[in-house]
Chain A
């Protein structure tokens, strides 16, 4: 049999197995290698909230999807070219996403009666002909891994079993002509650091064994190549949104000259920010794992009061707990950044899955009239920029800022063009006020910011608190007119942030047309792909993406008015939609999805086509 090499532009692979099968590591390795060979890519990790759900069950399936291409892409892919199914449950959960004639690599060792029953299969799908419309490659990965590791001494059966994910990765590497050096280096590094040298040999043998098996058995008649994508010139790395966010905060600290203080309480999917920043001690970063979400917000506010660049991060339930403290930050007008890596709610909801349902909570979720700026990151690489911008605005306007990310972009990754540090804008920190004529609520006439008079400054001793303060001198005041003045001052200050926004970019027909798709946050990639596809097909559709959700850009109203219809896709039941309808009095149309997974481009495309 002669093997055929086919060059394709894009491929979507999903590695799926039990929670303990190492699917996240496998996907990560494939992703990093794809990045290093120059593909554009986008990923979607998806795992259960339970650390080890019962083996073999549908609930225990963990997967990692990676979309890689030779052109510019923006989503982790709508449907799968390749599914690696390590057990029947993984097949059952993911089969519906596989393209017709797509490749399914199944570990036959797990297709035994108990696992078939757990997955709800009456018959073995590998045997009963039900997969006839796919290219199925049944491989006894477990047994072949054991053969590949036969020469390595002192391995238990369990240890051998745990190497099978690298055998599967070896097969897929070979199918797509990927080099293995990067992963071999990673295995060496990972297990050497953990003082497990025998696992280096074991996993490397499994990886090489998988590739050798695929080659020797001529498993695939066709192999595929995805060439590098033409990205903008520069130095690149693969970046998850959470790491990007942590780096953006650190960059803001560096460019402002302020000490970075981050307080958090462990919560999925935001913990990685705390982990990353805790590793940046050599930068002087001070991190604090608080006793609860409230304390994390309180500690951040205390640090802000002391003059630090103060940040707290969490997900939806944590934001609910922090809101009282955020209201105090609004009242005492101190700068801090509150990061919300959103997940499915309400309550504990879907801790490991994504959603955009905290927009209401971000904009109006406090008590009293407590406005603050809200910014949303649109993709993993944008988390860096959004974090930097959130810090800049917080300091300039002396206000808490909420930064919205979500599980999808927080945990997903894409190539990131590494910015040059000297090219990052400098963040100006307002000068300490002079003692002469100092008043704690004497505002900057331009920004409406009050002075940042930190403890330790002689002559600036003053008192602040949550009670209403008299304009200018900051003394406690319950005077009716003063409360209204102060409420309006706080509101006006936040409204001024609209000046920071560049003109809203309309991609498509800037002068208007039949349909505008308006997005915010992580719907960016799916909207962009859908609109580009529709425009290629000659349809009159444009798109715009909001970075700031509060205040809204000053030119948004005029932009919306230029279009006959406006479609707002959101991973919620219409939160931005409600604000847009209320503020601009237009019959904008919502597209909603609350399934814990991002939109596919096709879903948005269908909605566009229906409206045109």
Chain B
């Protein structure tokens, strides 16, 4: 729940959202772009600046609130969702954003992350996924690929990585989206859609760590390769991709297939149509598997967007109901509830 009031004051600009702190990410870090897109989008949302709160955990991404001229709380490694939950329950009218990273959200904070999505508070979660621990100087993260050689895995990481989208869908997140730091227009669109959503909006943002994991997402962001590797999802549209828009996704039974639209055997009519609102998540579950399928494009955009009741709305409804049923609480009556007895002045 957020109050629907638009700002009555003068229109805000990107500058209004820049704090007086020097930004201290490594030059060239993808975080700069994400910060810029958030600062560009916020003035268009009509929310008074003082009602916006950024809450972060620990890690490079989590320095984000210091650079926003809104309310900001840089908290504890992994715990931002819990702190954001308390704030939202106490102040549902606020516009609360959680900024986190792959280590923060999926390793140390995995528990709070899934429970926030499950409860569906009206909060936006921006997960900057660079598939590495940056702030601690380059250890493998829960999203690093198997076999990754880092300081803590000199012979290669043994671990199977998390697919963040699958984790979010497994927690029944009501909005699941993905975008890229380098694709500024797309990222702005996704941020706006996430903000429109009533419920927990999970946005995975591929972010380039130029120091410890440089160019991990280059195939998805480089001009020459990206169109062949990225599937831009649009609700109600067939799943077409490729530089020449010559490829698509078809469903054979339960298995998606990449098909050619130029081989004379298939046409757009054969393709899967994207449906954000697929209630049971069958389609989004399939889309989430693309990153594990060889030769498949990486879906970006709004993967899932369904309506689910927000936790805080029901909490307030219950309070209203309790007040309607028995009237507002009377403390004196409560203290004297149950069996009481009176002792007279003479101790009788």
A462, B71: Cβ atoms closer than 8 Å: yes
Question: In residues 566-587 of chain A, which contact B (Cβ within 8 Å)?
Answer: none
**Does B220 sit within 8 A of A, measured CB to CB?**
no
Interface pick from B159-167, B230-238, B320-328: B320-328
In the complex, what distance in Å separates the CA atom of A307 from the CA atom of B71? 13
In the assembled complex, the CB of B68 is this many whole angstroms from the nearest CB of chain A, namely 8
**Does A54 sit within 8 A of B, measured CB to CB?**
no
Which among B72, B87, B115, B343 is the interface contact of A306 at CB below 8 angstroms?
Answer: B87
**Does A420 sit within 8 A of B, measured CB to CB?**
yes
B contact residues, range:
35 or more
**Does A280 sit within 8 A of B, measured CB to CB?**
yes
**Does A23 sit within 8 A of B, measured CB to CB?**
no
CB-based nearest A residue for B328? A282
CB-defined contacts of A190 to chain B, threshold 8 Å: none
B323, A282: Cβ atoms closer than 8 Å: yes
A298, B76: Cβ atoms closer than 8 Å: yes
A305 and B73 in contact, given A295-B85, A299-B89 (Cβ under 8 angstroms): yes
Question: In residues 1-50 of chain B, which contact A (Cβ within 8 Å)?
Answer: 19, 21, 48-50
A456, B94: Cβ atoms closer than 8 Å: yes
CB-based nearest A residue for B85? A299
**Does A121 sit within 8 A of B, measured CB to CB?**
no
Question: In residues 261-319 of chain B, which contact A (Cβ within 8 Å)?
Answer: 315, 318-319
B335, A247: Cβ atoms closer than 8 Å: yes
**Does A458 sit within 8 A of B, measured CB to CB?**
yes
**Does B255 sit within 8 A of A, measured CB to CB?**
no
B94, A324: Cβ atoms closer than 8 Å: no
CB-defined contacts of B332 to chain A, threshold 8 Å: 420-421
Interface pick from A124-132, A155-163, A229-237, A604-612: A229-237
Residue picked from A263, A457, A458, A461, most chain B C-beta under 10 Å: A461
In the assembled complex, the CB of B319 is this many whole angstroms from the nearest CB of chain A, namely 5
In the complex, what distance in Å separates the CA atom of A300 from the CA atom of B50? 21
Interface pick from A4-12, A286-294, A497-505, A540-548: A286-294
A455, B91: Cβ atoms closer than 8 Å: yes
A298 and B112 in contact, given A230-B347, A234-B342, A280-B329 (Cβ under 8 angstroms): yes
B50, A282: Cβ atoms closer than 8 Å: no
In the assembled complex, the CB of A294 is this many whole angstroms from the nearest CB of chain B, namely 6
Q: Mark A450-473, 1 if CB is under 8 A from B, else 0.
A: 000011111111111111000000
**Does A88 sit within 8 A of B, measured CB to CB?**
no
In the assembled complex, the CB of B5 is this many whole angstroms from the nearest CB of chain A, namely 12
Give the number of residue pairs across the A-B interface with Cβ within 8 Å: 221
CB-defined contacts of A32 to chain B, threshold 8 Å: 339
In the assembled complex, the CB of A244 is this many whole angstroms from the nearest CB of chain B, namely 10
In the complex, what distance in Å separates the CA atom of A463 from the CA atom of B18? 12
A36 and B341 in contact, given A283-B329, A458-B48, A467-B74 (Cβ under 8 angstroms): yes
A461 and B90 in contact, given A236-B340, A295-B79, A466-B74 (Cβ under 8 angstroms): no
**Does A115 sit within 8 A of B, measured CB to CB?**
no
In the complex, what distance in Å separates the CA atom of A303 from the CA atom of B74? 15
CB-based nearest A residue for B79? A298
A421 and B335 in contact, given A286-B89, A288-B86 (Cβ under 8 angstroms): yes
A457, B50: Cβ atoms closer than 8 Å: yes
CB-based nearest B residue for A286? B89
A283 and B331 in contact, given A295-B85, A295-B115, A308-B90 (Cβ under 8 angstroms): yes
A302 and B94 in contact, given A182-B339, A235-B340, A465-B75 (Cβ under 8 angstroms): no
A295, B112: Cβ atoms closer than 8 Å: yes
Which among B49, B58, B83, B338 is the interface contact of A301 at CB below 8 angstroms?
Answer: B83
A247, B315: Cβ atoms closer than 8 Å: no
Which among B90, B115, B341 is the interface contact of A303 at CB below 8 angstroms?
Answer: B90
A288 and B85 in contact, given A250-B331, A282-B328, A325-B76 (Cβ under 8 angstroms): yes
A231 and B343 in contact, given A283-B331, A295-B111 (Cβ under 8 angstroms): yes
B340, A302: Cβ atoms closer than 8 Å: no
Q: List 13 A-B contacts (CB under 8 A).
A: A32-B339, A38-B348, A233-B343, A251-B331, A282-B328, A283-B328, A288-B86, A302-B82, A302-B85, A302-B86, A303-B87, A456-B51, A465-B72
Given contacts A281-B322, A463-B68, 19 further A-B contacts (CB under 8 A): A230-B347, A233-B343, A235-B336, A236-B343, A247-B334, A280-B334, A295-B79, A295-B85, A298-B76, A302-B55, A302-B83, A455-B51, A456-B91, A461-B49, A461-B50, A464-B72, A465-B66, A466-B58, A467-B74
